[in-house]
Amino acid sequence: MTLANIAAKIRELPGEAGGTVTWKVGPWNLTFQVEKHDQWSCLLHEIHGQHESSATFPWRKWADALPGKVRSLGDPLKVLEVDAQQNATMLRSAHPHRQDDITTYFELLARQDGSFSLRRYQGAFDPKRERQPVPFAITYESLTRCVQEMVGG
pLDDT, tens digit (0-9, with 9 covering 90-100), for 56-102: 889 889 999 999 999 999 889 999 999 888 889 999 999 999 888 88
Rounded Cα distance between 105 and 112, Å, is 23
Count of CA atoms in the C-beta half-sphere (13 A) of 19? 11
| Residue closest to 98 by CA, chosen among 75, 78, 69 | 75
pLDDT given for residue 153 in this prediction: 60
Rounded Cα distance between 71 and 144, Å, is 12
pLDDT, tens digit (0-9, with 9 covering 90-100), for 15-67: 777 899 999 989 999 999 999 999 899 999 999 999 999 888 898 899 999 99
Q: Calculate Rg over the CA atoms of the chain.
A: 16
pLDDT given for residue 14 in this prediction: 84
pTM for this predicted structure? 0.91
